[in-house]
Amino acid sequence: MLTNKSSSSSARLTFWLGLVGLPIGIVAGFLAGASPLLLCLALIVGAALLWFFTSFEQAVIGLLILRSSLDLFSGLQLPSAFAIGINALTILYVVVALLTGKAVHTDKFWWFFVGWVMMQSLWVILLPLGGLGMGAAFLPSAIKVWMRYFSWLMIYLLVMQLKDRVPPEKLVSLLLLSLVAPISVALMQIFLPASILPSLLTAQAKAGSNVSGTLGFPNGLGIFLTMFIALIWWKLSTSQKRLPWMILLGLVSFVFVRTGYFTGIGAVFLLILFINSTKITPIRVIGVVLFCSAFVYMFGSTEFGQQRLTEIYQTPLLNPNIDISRAIILSYGDGNSFNWRLAHWNYLIEAWKQFPILGYGLDSSPVLGIKDFRTGSGFAPHNDYLRFLVEQGIVGLLGFVLFLTVQGVHLVNLLRSSPPKSDRRNLCLLLLALFVANLASMLSSNIVDATTFFLYWWTLVAIAGWGNEYWQTHRLTQSA
């Protein structure tokens, strides 16, 4: 029976390859006559497609690892080209699989994900029709944001197709190779003089102290490293040889604090506490306290860290003599990023009141808040909930909150379905902790803009959803 099914699938594949081969031959002949360069490009694309289908597992893993190196080349639109290529490859793979009778793996959450992404297209459609606060001139930006959400969906679908091909533990471990390029470049930015570094590696640094690695912006690297600190902690809890992972955790933590991602400090603390809350032992408590103390010390030892810690004392949060109105006034001259946020949010809320139901449209928030007096350009909201409220109105914010709620319920269900003390359960706990940390970080950061972070986030969520039959459910050694 299996042989007949395999033969039938091979026959269908041969038929479709033959059917597709005819127009390809015709196009190749046309390109050869029109331009040999176009023919060479077509041959390269054809070879890449052949490699993708014949070495599917290696191709997907290689592309996932490569993504963390591309943001340096945003000026050349490489990240956008990568996203479009991933989307096209995923769709092509699914089409070929359906035509050849192969299984296409999905889950219930992915279909909900589809519904949310399709909901986002409403704001793309309404923009040129005049149904939002902005007009058709913002359509290219809106399409770009929608494509970002669509890319999340495609990454999730693509990784789901690996579930019967690659051991999940191995795949998660291989993702750690994505740290090599960002950490290497960040260490160059820390220890080498800026004068000898290419301008590409220093363009986004602030005050000569913050590092961005290959992620293009310090906060982007900080958000990215938050996830990998959690992954390294997962490896530390599952590995018999802990010293290498402790060294790696220290290295990544050192680079993290040099990004100056202040919001991430609280996110990492919340993450570590959440992960260790299920198994409290004296040694674990001491380890967590030492790690958090070292984290704060490293951050406070930097010039930027000292500045941020000083700033927070000049905000309504810790200074009872400063109310919100005064903080907004002070923000125009004191350079305090916390007070600046209050002023920026005030502008955005006042703008939202003009179009409260459906908002202004995707990616419209930067033009509605405070402007950079030097360039005239706007700033991102630095609050993702406010972003959805302003750009998509009450309808969009409720949709976003529903999306987050269903996502959290999905992670809880994965955790409950995992065997006790299994690798899968620990990964699900890690993801749930990271999810909660991100919910908090979204109050003052642009987490939704962290495209690289979300590629790896949806990869891990997809892997966690593969099911217990794909995971090695072995007992873990008691943590020291």
10-residue averages of pLDDT along the chain (480 residues): 47 52 52 54 69 88 94 86 92 90 92 97 93 89 95 96 90 93 90 70 55 86 91 82 88 87 74 69 67 69 64 59 58 65 88 95 90 73 95 97 97 92 87 90 91 95 88 45
The per-residue pLDDT for 252 is 92
Could you tell me the pTM of the whole model?
0.85
HSE (CB half, 13 Å, CA atoms) of 437? 25
Distance CA 370, CA 48 (A): 45
The per-residue pLDDT for 205 is 47
Distance CA 279, CA 288 (A): 12
Distance CA 70, CA 151 (A): 15
- Position 223: which residue type? I
What residues contact residue 313 under an 8 Å CB cut-off, 6+ apart? 319
The per-residue pLDDT for 477 is 35
**Radius of gyration of the chain measured on its C-alpha atoms:** 24
The per-residue pLDDT for 55 is 87
The per-residue pLDDT for 473 is 44
Distance CA 161, CA 156 (A): 9
In degrees, rounded to 5, the angle at the alpha carbon of residue 125 between the alpha carbons of residues 122 and 126 is 85
Find out whether 424 and 452 touch, Cβ atoms under 8 Å.
no
